[in-house]
C-alpha cells in the first residue's frame, strides 16, 4: 500500500510507533497530487513548501512524545475557511488575491494538533452550488468518472479525499454541501449540529445555515476530525457551550434498541432514481440485520423545504455579500471614476452568474413591501420544518433517507437549468433549516458504477448516535473500501 492510501487512524498508528515520518507521508500525498491533480482539479492552491515545514514540526513533536490523532496528518481545507498568510478565495474572482490576517478557529485547532495543511480546495463560488461548476476558478471532476460532477459546494474536498490527495478534509454545509459531494464521491461526510463547530473564520454565505464539517475515507477518521474541530468558541456568537464527547470512543457494536425512522414523504419525491432508492432500502435492511428497528415517520412540511431554503439562503447571502464592493478589500474595477459605476462593474465582474442570481433573489425578498411576504413567511415555515423533526425524534433515534435523488450527473447537464439544480438538494436542505446533524456514508453504486450515499440524520447534538450507527453499517459492508481507478 502506498502511504497516500492510508486512512487517518492507520497513519496515526504508524507515526506514533515511528514506522513512518510525517515528512514521508506528506511527500507521498504531494506526489499523489502531482500525479492526478490534472485529472481532478480539486485544489485551488497547493502549499507544498509550507506543508513540508509543518510536517517537520510534526515530526519534532512526535519525537518528544506528543502525537495526537491528527499530528502529522496531511489534510485539505475548503477555500472559504480563513488561513492566515495564505490565500482564501471562496472560489471567486472577487477574492482571488485575498490573504486573511488570521486563522479560522478550526484552522487554529488543526495547527494546535500539529496537522499538516497541504492546500485549499475548490468549491462553488461562495458555496453557492451543488456541482462545483459554479467555481470562478475551475471545474472539479469526479474521480469515479471525469465526465461527471463531484457534487458541491464542497466538491474539491470530497474529490480530493476520494482520490487520495489528502487523508481528510474540511468542508462547509449550508444546504447539503458536505453530504451531497460525499455521496457522489463515495466518502464519509458530516454536517454537525448548528453551533457544535465554530464558524469564526468561515466566510459567510447564509449565517443561520452554514456549518463546518469533516470529510474522510471512513467513519473512524470522520470522528477523529470531529473531535478536534468541535467545541465552544467565544469568538462565534452562535457557538453553543456544550461539552464535546469523544466521538471515536463508542464506535461499533450491534444496533439493538435503536429505531430508524423512514420518512413517508421522501420515497414519493419526483425524480428519485430507483437505483438510489434501492441502495438506500438495502442499507436500511443492513441496519435491521444489525438489530435496528424500522418505523415510518412523517415530515409533512418537506414539500416546502426547497422554497423556504431558496428564500432564506439568498436573503442572508445578499446581506453577507454586500461587503464586497471594491472599496475595502478584494477585486476592484479601476476603470471607473464614478462611485456607483465602480460598485456595479466591480460586483458584475467579480461575482459569477449564480452568485449574482442569488444576490438578486435575496435582495428582492428583503426589499420594502416584500420582507414579510417572503423572508418572514419562509422563517415561519422553517419553524414548522424544525417541529416536524422534533416530533419525529420522539419516536425514532435516527432518520434514514437518500442524500441526493440521483448519482452524479454529467458536467454541463444542469448548469443552464437552475431550478433542476436546486431540486437536487431536496433531501439535504431540511437538516440545515432545522439545525440538526446529518451524515452521508457510502451504501452502493449505480448501474454505471457511480457511488450512492445513505444519509442518516440525528437529533440536535446527538452526533454520537450517527457515528455509532454509521460505524456499525460500515463494518458490515464493503462499499467504503472501493476506490476509483485513476
- 239 catalytic? Reply is no
Alpha-carbon dihedral of residues 156, 471, 484, 135, nearest 10 degrees? -10
Q: Give 408's Cβ-side CA count (13 Å radius).
A: 35
Contact 409, 150 (CB under 8 A): no
- 153 catalytic? Reply is yes
And the C-alpha cell for 268? 414519493
Burial of 244 (0-12, 13-18, 19+ CB in 10 A): middle
- 183 catalytic? Reply is no
Given 47, 131, 177, 424, the catalytic residue: 177
Q: Classify 438 as helix, strand or coil.
A: strand
Q: Give the CA diameter of the chain.
A: 70
DSSP state of 90: T
> What strands lie across the sheet with 116-121, from one edge to the other?
43-46, 116-121, 74-78, 168-172, 212-216, 188-191, 438-445, 451-458, 398-402, 259-263, 293-297
Q: What share of the chain is helix, strand, coil (3-state, %, to 5)?
A: 40, 15, 45
And the C-alpha cell for 236? 462565534
Given 22, 47, 78, 92, the catalytic residue: 78
User: What angle do helix axes 48-63 and 8-16 make, rounded to 10 degrees?
Assistant: 50
Given 153, 154, 230, 392, the catalytic residue: 153
Residues identified as active-site: 78, 153, 177
Amino acid at each position: 500500500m502506498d502511504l497516500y492510501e492510508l486512512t487517518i487512524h492507520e497513519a496515526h498508528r504508524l507515526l506514533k510507533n515511528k514506522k513512518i515520518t510525517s515528512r514521508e507521508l506528506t511527500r507521498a500525498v504531494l506526489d499523489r497530487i502531482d500525479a492526478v491533480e490534472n485529472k481532478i482539479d480539486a485544489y485551488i492552491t497547493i502549499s507544498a513548501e509550507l506543508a513540508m515545514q509543518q510536517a517537520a514540526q510534526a515530526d519534532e513533536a512526535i519525537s518528544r512524545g506528543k502525537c495526537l490523532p491528527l499530528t502529522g496528518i496531511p489534510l485539505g481545507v475548503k477555500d472559504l475557511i480563513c488561513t492566515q498568510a495564505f490565500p482564501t478565495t471562496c472560489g471567486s474572482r472577487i477574492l482571488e488575491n485575498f490573504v486573511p490576517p488570521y486563522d479560522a478557529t478550526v484552522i487554529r485547532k488543526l495547527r494546535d494538533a500539529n496537522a499538516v495543511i497541504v492546500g485549499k480546495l475548490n468549491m462553488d463560488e461562495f458555496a453557492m452550488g451543488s456541482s462545483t461548476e459554479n467555481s470562478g476558478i475551475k471545474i472539479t471532476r469526479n474521480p469515479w468518472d471525469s465526465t461527471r460532477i463531484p457534487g458541491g459546494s464542497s466538491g474539491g474536498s470530497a474529490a480530493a479525499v476520494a482520490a487520495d490527495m489528502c487523508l481528510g478534509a474540511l468542508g462547509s454545509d449550508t444546504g447539503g454541501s458536505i453530504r451531497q459531494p460525499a455521496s457522489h464521491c463515495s466518502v464519509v461526510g458530516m454536517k454537525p449540529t448548528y453551533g457544535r463547530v465554530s464558524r469564526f473564520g468561515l466566510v459567510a454565505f447564509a449565517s443561520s445555515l452554514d456549518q463546518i464539517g469533516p470529510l474522510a475515507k471512513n467513519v473512524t477518521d470522520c470522528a477523529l476530525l470531529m473531535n478536534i474541530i468541535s467545541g465552544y468558541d467565544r469568538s462565534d456568537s452562535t457557538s453553543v457551550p456544550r461539552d464535546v464527547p469523544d466521538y471515536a470512543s463508542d464506535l461499533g457494536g450491534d444496533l439493538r434498541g435503536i429505531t430508524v425512522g423512514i420518512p413517508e414523504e421522501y420515497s414519493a419525491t419526483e425524480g428519485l432514481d430507483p437505483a438510489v432508492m434501492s441502495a438506500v432500502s438495502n442499507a436500511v435492511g443492513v441496519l435491521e440485520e444489525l438489530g435496528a428497528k424500522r418505523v415510518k415517520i412523517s415530515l409533512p412540511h418537506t414539500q416546502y423545504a426547497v422554497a423556504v431554503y431558496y428564500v432564506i439562503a439568498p436573503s442572508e447571502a445578499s446581506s453577507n455579500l454586500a461587503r464586497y464592493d471594491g472599496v475595502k478589500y478584494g477585486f476592484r474595477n479601476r476603470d471607473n471614476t464614478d462611485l456607483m459605476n465602480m460598485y456595479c462593474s466591480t460586483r458584475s465582474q467579480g461575482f459569477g452568474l449564480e452568485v449574482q442570481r442569488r444576490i438578486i433573489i435575496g435582495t428582492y425578498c428583503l426589499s420594502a413591501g416584500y420582507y414579510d411576504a417572503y423572508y418572514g413567511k419562509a422563517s415561519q415555515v422553517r419553524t414548522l420544518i424544525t417541529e416536524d423533526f422534533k416530533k419525529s425524534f420522539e419516536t425514532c433515534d435516527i432518520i434514514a433517507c437518500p442524500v441526493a435523488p440521483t448519482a452524479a450527473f454529467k458536467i454541463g447537464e444542469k448548469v443552464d437549468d437552475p431550478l433542476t439544480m436546486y431540486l437536487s438538494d431536496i433531501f439535504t436542505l431540511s437538516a440545515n433549516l432545522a439545525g440538526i446533524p446529518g451524515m452521508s456514508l457510502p451504501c452502493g453504486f449505480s448501474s454505471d458504477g457511480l457511488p450512492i450515499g445513505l444519509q442518516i440524520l440525528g437529533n440536535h447534538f446527538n452526533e454520537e448516535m450517527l457515528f455509532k450507527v454509521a460505524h456499525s453499517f460500515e463494518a458490515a459492508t464493503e462499499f467504503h473500501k472501493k476506490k476509483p481507478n485513476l
